[in-house]
Structure formats: C-alpha cells, structure tokens
Structure 1
Amino acid sequence: MSEQITVSQYIIRFLESKGITWIPGVPGGTILPLYESLAGSNIEHVLARHEQGAGFIAQGRARSTGEVSAVFVSSGPGVANLITAVADAQRDSVPLLIFSGQVPLGLMGTDAFQELPTVKIVSSVVKKVYLVEEPNQITEILEEAFLLCGEGKKGPVWIDLPKDIQTQKINLPENNIPFGGSSHLDFLEQVSKADPLSFESLDIFLDEFKFLLKSSRFPLLYIGGGAKKEYLRLREFVSRFQIPAVTTLMGLGIFEKDDPMNLGMMGMHGTVAANEALGVCDLLIGIGVRFDDRATGAIEKFCNQAKIIHIDIDAREIGKNKSVTLSLQKDISEVLPFLLEEDFQVQNKESLLQVETWKQIPEEHPMKSILLDFASVLPSGEHFVLTDVGQHQMWVAQYFPFHQPLSWITSGGQGTMGFGLPTAIGVALSHRDSHVYCFTGDGSIMMNLQELSTLREQNLNVKIILINNEHLGLVKQQQDLFYGSLYSGSKFHFHPDFSMLCESFGIVYYEWDWRSEVQDLETVLEKKGPALVEVRVPSSWGVYPFVPGGKSNQEYILGQVTT
C-alpha cells in the first residue's frame, strides 16, 4: 500500500527535492497547514516583516543564483502585499514560485475573511497561476510550475492553495520517482524539447547575418540582461571582430568598464558615446533585449537609419516595439558558439575613430570619484552590488566598475523603490561568505525599512550605503528641469536620525564624509555582519546625461554639477 501524506507535506518534500534550503515568508491563518509541514522539514524559514519584503528576499536568491526560489504568504492582504515584488520579478524574468494560502473551497466567492480572488488579480503579472481544487492535482501542478519558472524566459509562477486542500491526503506515486519525475507529463517534454535549432535554419540565419555585417560600415551591438550569462563569449566576440557595444541597465558588467569596445550604458542616463552611436549606426544587433522606452528613448526616432537584427529567447519580444530586418528566437547560448566560428570581415575603421571622439566628451560628476573611492577599498573576495531605485541607482550604473554582470543586481523594468534591502538579504543568505553592498537613497530605504530587523536577525554580511540628499532626487531633478523648480512632494521635511535608527536595530552605523579619506570606510566594510554607511550629498546634484521623455537618445541634456 502506498504511503499517504498531506498536500502540504508533499509540497515541502518536493521543494526539498529541488534543493531549496530556505524559504522567506509571512504566515497567516490560511497557510498554516503548509507552515506546519515546513516546521518538520530541513528547510529554514526566513521570517520577513512584510510580504513585499519576503518576495524581494526570494528574488535575492533567484537573481544571484539563477535558480527557482520559493516564497510563502497567506491570503488576502498577504497576497496583495506580495504583488509588487512579483510584478518586479515578472518584468525582469526572475524565477519565483509563489505559494499563497486561500480560504477553504466552500467559502470562496462569499467575501470570507481575508479572501481575495487571487487568480484573477495576479494572472497578468505571472507566467501562470494555479488554483488547486483537487488534492491529487498537486503532483502535476508542482512539476509543471517549477519547470515553467526556470525554463525559457524565466519568471514567476503562482500556486493558490485553499486551506482545506492543504490538509487532505494523497498517495505517493508507486514505482515512480515521486519528486522531480516528469515522465507522466507530456507538457514537460513539449517545453523542454520544443523548437530545436536545426542546422538548416541556423545556416540561413548565419548567411543573412554575415551579409548584413559585410554591408555595414557602423555595426553596433545592443546587449541586455537576457545575454549576461554568456558575458565571456560576448567579450570574445567584440574583441575578435572589433564591433563596439552598448548595454542596457540590466546588461552592465557584460563588458569590462575599460574595454575599448564598450561604449557603456545607453538610454535615458546613458553615456554620450553610447547614445551618439545609436544615432548613426547602420546595423544594430540586439541580443537579450526588449527595446524598452528607457533604453530607446522615443521609439519612432530610434535607429531609424539602421537595419536591425534581434536575437531573443522570447518570440513575443521580437518586433513588439520595433520592426526588425532579421530575427532569431533562441537563447544566445545556442547561437554564440556558431558566431564565434565565423570569419566576419567588418569594415568599420572610421566608425571606431568616431567612437573615440565621443568618448573624449567629459561626463565628470562628483559621484564618480565617490564610487571609485568606494570600489577601491572593497575587501577581496566575491561581492555583489545592489541598488534601490533613484538617483543613486543611476550613479552606480554610470560609474561603478563592474567586473562581471552576475554580481550586479537592480530593479530594471518596474524600477521598484524598496527593492534593495530585502533583495540584499536574499543574496546574502545564498552567498554567506560573500560581501553584499546595497546602495540606497533616503527615499527608497524607508519603503522596506522594516527588513532591517530581518537583516539583524539573520546577522548577514550586508553593508547598506545610504546616499542621503533629503529628497526624492529624480523627482526633484525633473521638477528642476521641466516644472520651473516647483517642488511638490519631492522634499522630505522630517529627517530621521539614521544613527539612532541603526542603534535600535542593533546595526553598526557610520557616517562617511565623501570629501575625506577612505581608510575609515575601509575598516567598516571589512567587518563581518550588517552595517549602514550614510553619505550626505547636496540635493542639487543631478544625474546626467539626461534624455527627456519623448526625445531621442541624441537629444540629451548635459547638466552642470558643482560641489
């Protein structure tokens, strides 16, 4: 006779079989059966102080490891509080597996206590959402959901669990692998083996690729976060064929800062060289990119003189925002080895000389020296750099010398303030011997401030660098530029004492004067455990270059920043 276990016990065993060793969450009445099973397992629970924080903690693991991460929340407000973190994961292709409690099946649709129509609410921000209505559904749902999270274009998948379903018993499969086995699901084979890259289709693509490249005088690579796992091959590609490259915010670190072929970040706060190159290139090769508005500027003015090649894993992105000349729906990992075997003849000497001219245009800013000073005293060993969202995010993106892209983590598509601190906790939980640095602003830090308690409870090696200008900096900057310096809602009229705040949480505090020496800062960064470093800067500092909304990338503003 087969062993019988509850649905919640099956879920926990499944997660254990997938190598998940810790799960963040916030319990509540409708998910307590799952928590009961969790308590008897080898999986550690990380108690967040808010469900949004739990979602971002799970993101920290997923973004830094590339693996599917799980998160537990209860029904009603637990679901609603988590949605921001899930929407953020969906936009940046982060694999999250969400388990939410739900009222018992018999109460659904009655406006029961802490009931929300979860499936209806979250369906637009996940790859798929499941409502478990029969206990025996759970085996196939788990297998399918886990695969959907991590295969193809990664993203969040949601499983809604009525409370009474969690306690019902099911039989473990006989004569089969109970966890991780997929032989009984046609769906799994379809997803994992779909659309193989035939040699014939590849040959056609390569022939057209070579023809377009041979005909070009100013080819340019446009590289995004979807290509960062192949950063070493991409570095080899640009070095061998001497094709300059621009990157999106999410693609930073794919090329080293001082690589002569690296023109830097493009778009709203991109470099002069990157944005000018986009204006004159005659062939744009986009890899792992979405052609989103922050990167392209006014899409109707973007690279209108260029033929466009687009390689992306998601067919829905190809031609969505910009028509292309040649496309291939594939993971770049399947294509780059063949591209590197080719012998392209690139006739772009004049364009490379032009690139050098653009690179000479000064883009100096006091934040550049601050961030380079900070980078100069980082302890040796693996480290991760995260940001919240705001001016500090753009400054870090512009000036920090990233050595590889997997250590750079930020909220891209949604631009979620409050992202940094909880995500840094998740990164540190996944890389306990690494150094984790979270740059934040005095606006962003307040949006998930409660997770300082989680950070201290876990005693993680996270250093928070608080850039404090007493304003919502990007809002103020736009009010300065476009609204006659009418500061409505951008200035904080009360300023917390962050030293006392840190003392209340038991976290080391240090205020660093950016005009002073960096030795004291180095001492703080070397110490194990959490700390907050506050850096006060003038509110007059802006982020430049700046491409106003509705303008082309070549219509940038170069502001004057004084100290």
Structure 2
Amino acid sequence: MQTSITVSEYCIRFFESKGIRFLPGLPGGTILPVYDALAKSSLTHVLARHEQGAGFIAQGIARTTGEVTPFLISSGPGVSNAITAVADAFRDSVPILVISGQVPTWLIGTDAFQELDTLSIVRSITKRAYLVTDPSRFPEILEEAFSLCKEGRPGPVWIDLPKDIQNSLIGDFKEKGSIPNEHEDKKILSEDPSRELIDGATELLKNSNKQLLYIGGGAVKSERLIRKISDQFRIPVVSTLMGLGIFSEEDELYLGMMGMHGTAAANEALRDCDLLLAFGVRFDDRATGNLESFCKNAKVIHVDIDKREINKNRKVDLSWNGELSSFLFAWISDLETNYEASNKDWLSEISRLKSNLAPPPNKIHSLVRSVASSINEDAFILTDVGQHQMWVAQSYPFQKPNSWITSGGQGTMGFGLPASIGVALANPGATVLCFTGDGSIMMNLQELSTLKEWNLNVKIILVNNGHLGLVRQQQELFYENRKSGSKFEFQPDFLRLAESFGIESAKIHLKDNFVFFSDWFSKKAPSFLEVIVPEEEGVYPFVPAGKANHEYLLAAGTNWKDVVEKSH
C-alpha cells in the first residue's frame, strides 16, 4: 500500500528507525508540526528549559553512546540560544543533529517574526548546514545529514526546516520498507597506510632516543592500541585534557596531563623529547603553549582523522590522515618485527621527573580523591569550565576515557549540568557526578528543573569561592592584582535555591572532613553539595599565556627556573 506522509512525520519515523530513544528540545511556533508528529510517536521527548540546555543534553547522550543524537528547536531566538552548544560540539567532535524550525518559505528574507538567516550563522560551527526548500529532497537530506554526523571526524550537522515544508507531503511513501530499520553509517574509505609510511615511522623511532606519545580526544577510540604501543615498546605518554582516562595514573610510563595546567613532569618531558608521536590531537594552544618553543628539538609524526589538522599549527616530519586504529595496527605489526626499545636512559629520566616534580597534596586534591574513593569506576565525571575543571583534571584518578566528559576546545561555562542530564538519560542506573563552579552553575541553572523532572541520579558538587576563579587568578598573576569583574558581590543562597527545585542539598567547607561521601552517593536521586573554597586557592602549575610549557609557575610568586633547577 502506498500513501503520503508529511516531512514532519517522516522526520520522526526516521528517528524511530534509527533507534533514537530520547529527543531533547524546546518547542516554538515554527517547529510545531514536528512536535505534532512527535506526540504520536514512540520517542521520549526531553523538555529542556533553554535551547542551549537542549543542545548540551543531546551532547551528553552522544558523548557517552557515540551515536548521533538529534534535538529540536524553533527559529530565531531558538537558533541563537542553541549556537553555543553546537559550537561546543563542533570543537569537541560530538555527533549531534540539529532540527530547527524556520518561518514559511514565502516569508524568508522579509524579516518576519522570529526569522534569522540560520545557515549564514551556523555554517562555520557545523560540518554542514541545510535549508530544506523541496520536500521531496528531505529523505535524502536527512539520511545524508545523519551519516555525516559520524563520518570521518564526528561533529554537528544542522537542518533548517521552514514551517510550510514540515507540513508538505512526500508522495508515494511506502508504509513499510521506505525507512530503513537499520542504518549502516557511511565510512570514509581511506586507504591503509602505505608501506613507505610505516617504514618511515619505524625509522624515525629507531633513530630517536627520547620518544614521547602525545595523545588527545581523537585517540580515545584506539585506547587499547595506544596502551599496547606504549607498554610493548616502552614509550612514555602525555595527554591533553580530552585524552584523560586512556592511561591510569599508576602507569609508570604515564606523565599526566600536559599544557597550561598540566603536570611539571609532562611539560619537562615535552621539552626534552626528540620524537613526538602526536595521535588524535590538534596542537591546541592550551596544550602546546608557545608553539615556537614546543618540542623544539623533536621530529614529529602526526596521525589524525581530520586532514585540516595536519600541518595546521605545527609542521611535521611524517603524517597520515585517516583512522588512527588503522595506522596503529599496521605500525605495531611492523615494530614487532623490526624494532627493539633501547631507551633505558630516557626511561630513567622519566622516572626521575615523575618522582621529583610530583605535586604536593593539598585540600583540593583531598576533596577530589575523597569523592573518587566513594564511587565506583563506572561513574561518569563531568565538569563545567574554570578552576574546578582543572582541579578535577589534575586530581581525579580516571580509569576509563569514556567516563570523563568536559568542554575542551570551546571551554563553555554552563556545560556541566545539562550534559549530565543527557549522560544520565543514556546510562540509566549509573552515577553521574557534575563538578561545577559558582560562576558556571548560573549559566544553565534552569536545567535543575529538567533534572528534578526526570529524577536522575546526578550528583552536583558546587565549588564556591565567590569569584570567577581563573579570571581572578590571572588578574593576580599577570595584571598586578588589579581585580575587575571577577568577584561576585552578591550570590544567592545556593542551598535554598537547590531545594526550591526539589533537590536535596548540603554545604561543607574545604577544611571539613569528607568521610560522609559514601552515604551521599548511595541515594539514587539528584543531590546538590556546595563546597566553600577559600578565594586564594589557585590552579597550579600555570603556564602564562605566550610562554613555553616548561615556563610554568608552581605557586604564586614562584620562578619556574628555580623549581626546575632544584629538580635537576
């Protein structure tokens, strides 16, 4: 039997066919036809309180499942409100699909109510953006967009749907079989690395004495192979913020996070290495510091899925654009036959760096460790952006890469709470922990309503120092202690605020004993904990902007050269 179906109905049935369970969004006039189709479907809608929240909820689902996650918004302010979440997904390679309403086609370009030129605005923060003007093309566009989200380097794709197009019929729709029940994502069919490339990489490794693995978010999918190459061929490792969890801190070859707030040991090793194996990274400025000084004496092998990243920030000696796992499979096979590690002196140096430059324990470290000891390894750890993000990155003993979720490239305050909601929806039964700050929590505070509505097991730890902490710290260090706009002269009563949303809350001070955490985590419901932190607490190490990674400060007023000389 053949019939007709509207674009809106097709959209929702398509999502059903892909196994989508949750569809975050926030309705408005121009997206109502899709919402009408949604009301008759098996999909579960997640009503966010802000479009940015909807985007981050979708991100939370996509970041933990690896699957394309759509969300719905209306036109105009709906579009502009969602831009931050989409830009964040673009930078951190998260496969989300935006379906936005648009004014009817005959009103486009007339400055109609809630009209924006959506495509012009979002093209630079998406892999591709579509404006659908021909309903007959919608099935093709939707299929292509869905595939493109995961193809190559994952990322967001945007479809802008005029209201009249949503109501238009797609003719000759076959009730059965027209929408596939299973979808095989298109793959980038790159060739395997050449024999010449593998030989070249092996030769560079043979001719080096101080090799170092530099891994990032793009290496997460190849975690087992990365660990194998480090362990089997005795290659030390440093990680970006997004690569945390691939290696355990107990690993003798792992030096920790590198960069602006990375460990002193990691940054010293970067200065001294003579071969840098850059896998799934983009040489971001927060990771490299001053690029002219970054691994100045090292040859570089760079492997990344995105060809635009090759030679973009750092010229390299050997590169391959493709799936990291394909390169590693081929290279490990070659190394097992043609390479034997001979870097004992370098490994001794690595051990000395780890020992001599280990950060001293402090109260912040103890807080984070107490939290970690109270939850199981299957918990998800999220942060917003600020000092608390760096404290968690530095101190939390991550055991799995997929358990660590944060806003990396865009550094978006307000990410943590809505993203935690998405993670909890996609992972029922898991404990989801969200570290946030007194600045960040106010950015998407309204999503506490969504959290309570779903009664999800999300534990929020608010680190409150009364300031935009990293801004204050930089003003103290680099602006002669001139404070401007970094202190909150008024704050709400966060406990009463959380309780007004129906969420159980408590308050402690950093000096307090943290032994109660086990009981706090045992309750399978949303909870809110405010931790009062002295404003003078800072994030260290700290590499000043424009400086080399080895020019780090270990405390306010310290000279990095004195610290390094003592370590030697």
Contact 1:60 1:425 in 2 (8 A): yes
Instruction: Point out the more displaced range, 16-25 or 225-234.
Output: 225-234
Match of 2:278 among 286, 289, 300: 286
1:361 counterpart residue number: 357
Deviations 1:416-441, CA, capped at 9 Å, x for gaps: 00000000000000001100000000
SS in 2 for 1:519: coil
Deviations 1:43-79, CA, capped at 9 Å, x for gaps: 0111000000000000000011111000100000000
CA root-mean-square deviation:
1.7
Match of 1:497 among 473, 493, 510: 493
Distance 1:303 1:116, change over 3 A: same
1:55 counterpart residue number: 55
Match of 1:301 among 293, 301, 309: 293
Residues 138-287 of structure 1: matches in 2 within 5 Å? 138-173=138-173, 177-180=177-180, 192=187, 194-197=189-192, 201-287=193-279
SS in 2 for 1:466: strand
Say whether residues 1:526 and 2:526 are aligned partners: no
Distance 1:175 1:48, change over 3 A: closer
Give the aligned residue type for 1:105: T
SS in 1 for 2:381: strand
SS in 1 for 2:30: helix
Distance 1:176 1:134 in 2: 23
Instruction: Point out the more displaced range, 298-307 or 287-296.
Output: 298-307
Distance 1:235 1:414, change over 3 A: same
SS in 2 for 1:439: strand
Match of 2:367 among 370, 376, 380: 370
Distance 1:369 1:214 in 2: 42
Distance 1:529 1:233 in 2: 37
Contact 1:216 1:346 in 2 (8 A): no
Q: What is the aligned length?
A: 552
Distance 1:211 1:173 in 2: 58
Deviations 1:221-263, CA, capped at 9 Å, x for gaps: 0000001122122112211111000000000001011101101
SS in 1 for 2:143: helix
Distance 1:540 1:489 in 2: 16
Contact 2:377 2:399 in 1 (8 A): no
Distance 1:439 1:193 in 2: 37
Q: Under a length normalisation based on structure 1, what TM-score does the superposition of the two structures give?
A: 0.96
Distance 2:182 2:420 in 1: 34
Q: Quick one: percent identity of the two aligned structures?
A: 57
* Structure 2 unaligned residues grouped into runs of 5+: 558-568
Give the aligned residue type for 2:160: D
Contact 1:216 1:347 in 2 (8 A): no
- 1:502 Cα deviation from its structure 2 partner: 1.2
* Structure 1 unaligned residues grouped into runs of 5+: none
1:382 counterpart residue number: 378
- 1:193 Cα deviation from its structure 2 partner: 5.2
Residues 421-432 of structure 1: matches in 2 within 5 Å? 421-432=417-428
1:482 counterpart residue number: 478
Distance 2:287 2:48 in 1: 34
1:506 counterpart residue number: 502
- 1:104 Cα deviation from its structure 2 partner: 0.2
Distance 2:217 2:173 in 1: 40
1:102 counterpart residue number: 102
Instruction: Point out the more displaced range, 334-343 or 206-215.
Output: 334-343
SS in 2 for 1:509: strand
- 1:525 Cα deviation from its structure 2 partner: 1.2
Distance 1:434 1:263, change over 3 A: same
1:541 counterpart residue number: 537
Contact 2:225 2:325 in 1 (8 A): no
Contact 1:172 1:178 in 2 (8 A): no
Give the aligned residue type for 1:178: S
- 1:370 Cα deviation from its structure 2 partner: 1.3
Deviations 1:338-359, CA, capped at 9 Å, x for gaps: 2332222222111111112211
Distance 1:388 1:35, change over 3 A: same
Distance 1:285 1:65 in 2: 28
1:12 counterpart residue number: 12
Distance 2:133 2:191 in 1: 35
